[in-house]
A = this chain, B = another copy of it.
Amino acid sequence: MSDNHQLFRVEDLRGKLSAGGYKTTPQREEILKIFVEYSEWHHMSAEDIYNILRKKDSEIGLATVYRALDLLSELGILVRMDFGDGCARYELNTTDPKVHHHHHLICLKCKKVIEFEEDLLDELEADIADKSGFQILNHEVKFFGYCSDCLAKEA
């Protein structure tokens, strides 16, 4: 959000890229900046990013967007999420509990996605890391069922 926040993110990017043997390019920086700038707009797809870039008169191609999103996810800078709407969606991987600790309720009837803020997974994460040696960067929790609207219609 703030300039400091953005600078921090881009510095982080430089480090992680070179650590992985990748190059820092203006395209990758620009795409990451969009996530910082639009941090209140969750769940952006490749197409969303591409449209924002076009409005900014950027020359970045759609294939580059896909490749950057892939790479940034692999580096743990972004998190890829699937809502079953036919396209992958991404958001910044943050440790901020306000953002990190939320779940998704997906209605099987109307396909609505509801966000639910509450998390009790910290101890579960610690337990998993302990037992499996897996280093957890983020999690995604989806609950499937029927929303109150659809339940009401049925009754």
Interface residues of A (CB under 8 A from B): 73-76, 79-80, 82, 84, 88, 103, 105, 107-109, 114, 116, 118, 120, 123-125, 127-128, 131-148, 151
Chain B neighbourhood of A82, CB < 8 A: 82, 84
- Tell me the nearest residue of chain B to A133, going by C-beta: B148
What are the 8 closest A-B residue pairs judged by CB atoms, nearest first? A133-B148, A82-B82, A136-B145, A137-B145, A135-B145, A140-B142, A135-B146, A139-B143
Chain B neighbourhood of A143, CB < 8 A: 125, 128, 134, 136, 138-139
Inter-chain contact B124/A148, CB cutoff 8 Å: no
- Given A84-B88, A118-B124, A124-B120: A132 in contact with B144 (beta carbons within 8 A): no
- Tell which of A75, A105, A144 has the most Cβ of chain B within 10 Å: A144
